[in-house]
Amino acid sequence: MDTAQTQQVFFEHIRSKLPSHLSFAEEIAAQLNISNDSAYRRIRGEKPITLIEACTLCNKYQVSMDQLLQVNTNTVIFSYDKVDNLSFSFNKYLEFVIKSLNQFKLLANPMVYYFSKDLPIFHFMPFPELRAFKFFFWKRTLLGYPELARQQFNGEEPDAEAIESAKKIDELWARIPSTDVWNVETINVTISQIEFYRQSKVFADKDVLLKVYSQLEELVNHMEFQAENGKKSMVNLPPGSVQYEAYINETLIGDNTVFVKSDNLQIAFINHNGLNFMSTQDKDFCDFTFKSMQNMIRKSTHISVVGEKERSMFFNMLRNKIHQRIMSI
């Protein structure tokens, strides 16, 4: 492929990342501080882009220079914002989730695949005390917020901004088709977190602890409801029209990998260090990730709409885990 063709492919890759209602030439012109006509000539490959222009566009649209130059290497470029209590706060993390979901929603025929080690963050959003517990745990124990170091959990989320973000996440997630791959161990992470705080006497009182466990069971019930119907829904509302697929894998433990596939874009999100995600659109990496996901799904039991017996056994098992903990309080 010659230079002009490579440049055209590069711009087409950028175009695929943008909402369809935007004028692509105007967007490029604004980023490079050039006229629309100059932008058109670069997009068509009639005028070569400079190295500085290429770097500007790569940084803006998170494209690796290897993709631009079509260099065949074993290097994969990831985008990454680490969650901490300084430069990228927990509220900014929630904003990142909202921004990502809004982007997914605009894609052509999107499907979000989630290979779960822990319950995905989206599932906690409708349940106030359970959500507040997860937020508190992440900030106090995972991120080490100093102001929470000696504070007990009273069942409430004091941050109004975080509450509003949670509502937006819940609404957006209900509008995006998704596929979950569960394991019997998936719920154990949250139970372990609750038990750790119980034994450490972080819960303000027994009623708060019981409320958190009660809402964890409500979460399980809602997951089962969606799987039974094969459609997403808001809590306590009838099923909507958005596709929901669920699978059980009895042998492989998830790693919280998230993969987004659409007609015009693929993105792989790799989880590490609890909350943090690194993302890439590297074609080879995304193709391999999707192939691996499909392989796991083929070796899993489908419980959306079909598989009533397996679905019932699975969710009863999760509920029993919760009931055992409640009985020991």
Q: Are 269 and 278 in contact (CB under 8 A)?
A: yes
In a domain, 74, yes or no: no
Residue 142 tokens read as 């995972």
Total of domains in the chain: 2
In a domain, 233, yes or no: yes
Same domain, 59 and 94: no
Same domain, 130 and 223: yes
Q: Is the pLDDT of residue 70 over 70?
A: no
Average pLDDT of the segment spanning 144-151: 90
Same domain, 38 and 156: no
pTM of the model: 0.80
Same domain, 111 and 11: no
Same domain, 7 and 46: yes
Strands 244-248 and 178-182: parallel
Write the pLDDT tens digit of every residue in 169-220: 999 999 999 999 998 888 999 999 999 999 999 999 999 999 999 999 999 9
The share of the chain scoring above pLDDT 70, in percent, equals 93
CA distances from 133 to 9, 41, 188, 223, 327 (A): 47, 54, 15, 19, 20
The C-alpha atoms of residue 115 and residue 112 are separated, in whole angstroms, by 10
Mean pLDDT score across all residues of the chain? 88
CATH number at residue 64: 1.10.260
Give the domain range for residue 157: 79-327
Same domain, 148 and 106: yes
Q: Is the pLDDT of residue 71 over 70?
A: no
| Domain boundary residue, one of 69, 93, 112 | 69
